[in-house]
Copies of this chain bind each other. A is one copy, B any other.
Amino acid sequence: MLVVMEQDATEVQVERVLTHLAGHGLEIQRLDAPDRTIIGIASGGPPQLDVVAAMEGVHEVLAFKSPYKLANRTYQANGTLVRLGDTVIGGTEVVVMAGPCLVQSEAQIFGAAAAVRRAGGRVLCADAFGAVTSPYGFQGLGIAGLELLCAAAAHEGLKTASEVMDAAQIDTLSRFVDILEVGAQNMQNFTLLRELGRARTPVVLKRGNSATIEEWLLAAEYVLCGGNSKVVLCECGIRTFERYTSNTLDLSAIQAIKTLSHLPVLVDPSHGTGRQDHVAPMSRAALAAGADGLIIEIQFGADGAGVDVDTRSVGAAQFADLMSDLRVIAPAFRRTICPELVSVPF
C-alpha cells in the first residue's frame, strides 16, 4: 500500500499520517520524492483504508497486490522518460549506447567514441572500474579512465555511461558520467541500490542473470523509493542450461516490463548472447519486440584488453552495418534511430 500525500502537504500532516500508521503496528517507509512525500507500507494494511484516505494532506491511497509499488504500471500509467540532456530514453527513438568493455587508453576510447557517433549511437559507455570474475584480470584505470571517457564523449557530442560497483563510488562517478550502470552481478546489492536512490543521476539497472522479473522490479523499487525516479532497466540474458550462447537473452522480458511497469527497458545483446554473430540479429529482434534501446559492446584498439571480449564484441564496421539495418527497419515499428553523422567507410 502507498499513501500519496498532496504536493503541498505540510510536515505536520505527514507526521500525523506516519503516527497513525505506526499506531496500527505497520512497518512504514517514508519516501521524499522530489514533488511530494509518499509513505510505503509493507505487506499488511490498516484496518480502515478510508480513514487514512480522509486524513488531511492525503492525496490518494493506493493498494497493490504486487510487492513493487512505485515501479508498477498501476502507479504511473505513462511510460517514464529518462532524459540525458536532449537524449530521451523511453520515447520514440531507440537509443543506442555503445563502447568498449573497459577504458584502456586515449587512442582506444577516442577511436571508439568516433565510431559510435558516426554510426548513430547516442551514449558512449565503457567501464573505469572493472567487474571481472577473476581477481587476476585487468581492473580498470579508475578516475583516469573516467577522465578519458568524458573527454572522448565530449569531443564527439555523446553522453556517457559507466558501471558503478559500490556505494562509495556513486559521488565520484556522478561527477563524471550521465548515467550509472548497475551490473547484473550487483542487481541485488541492496546497499548500492539504496544509495542510488539518494542520488539524482539516472541509473541503468541490468537484470541479474538469475533474477526473476519480479526481483528485478523490486531492485528498481529500491532506487525509486529513495526518490530517484530516473531508472532504466536492461535485459542482458539469463543463465540457463544452454551454453551455445553465454546466456539466454530473454526478449519476452520486454513485453513483461511494458505490462508490469512504466520504466523504459533496454537490451544488451553483447552480454546477453556472448556471441559476435548474434549481436545483429538479436538487436533487430529486440527492436521488433519493443525495446527502448540497446547497449552494444564494440571492440576497439589492438592493445588487447584485460578482459576477453573477442567473442562477444563487434568491430566498428559491423556496428555501423548493424545501425544502418536498424535505421531501415525502425519505421516499420514506428520508432526512429539517430541518423549517422557521415557515411565514410572505415
Interface residues of A (CB under 8 A from B): 27, 29, 40-43, 67-69, 131-138, 165-168, 185-186, 188-194, 208-210, 212-215, 218, 221-222, 225, 238-245, 248-252, 254-256, 259, 273, 275, 277-278, 281-282, 284-290, 306, 328-329, 331-333
Contacts and interface: CB of A to CB of B under 8 A. Distances in A.
A245 B241 contact: no
A73 B254 CA distance: 32
Contacts of A41: 136
B250 A248 contact: yes
B256 A245 contact: yes
A69 B136 CA distance: 10
Contacts of A284: 288-289, 333
Given A136-B42, A289-B281, A210 B213 contact: no
Contacts of A248: 238, 240, 248, 250, 252
Nearest to A69: B136
B259 A277 contact: yes
Contacts of A252: 244-245, 248-249, 273, 275, 278, 281-282
Contacts of A213: 242, 244
A134 B218 contact: yes
A209 B187 CA distance: 13
Given A40-B135, A138-B27, A190-B131, A251 B249 contact: yes
A285 B289 contact: yes
Nearest to A287: B288
Given A185-B188, A284-B288, A218 B135 contact: yes
B243 A240 contact: no
27 contacts: A40-B136, A42-B134, A43-B136, A69-B136, A131-B188, A135-B190, A135-B218, A135-B221, A135-B222, A165-B190, A166-B166, A166-B189, A186-B189, A210-B241, A212-B242, A212-B244, A238-B242, A239-B239, A240-B248, A240-B250, A251-B251, A251-B282, A252-B273, A256-B278, A285-B289, A288-B289, A329-B329
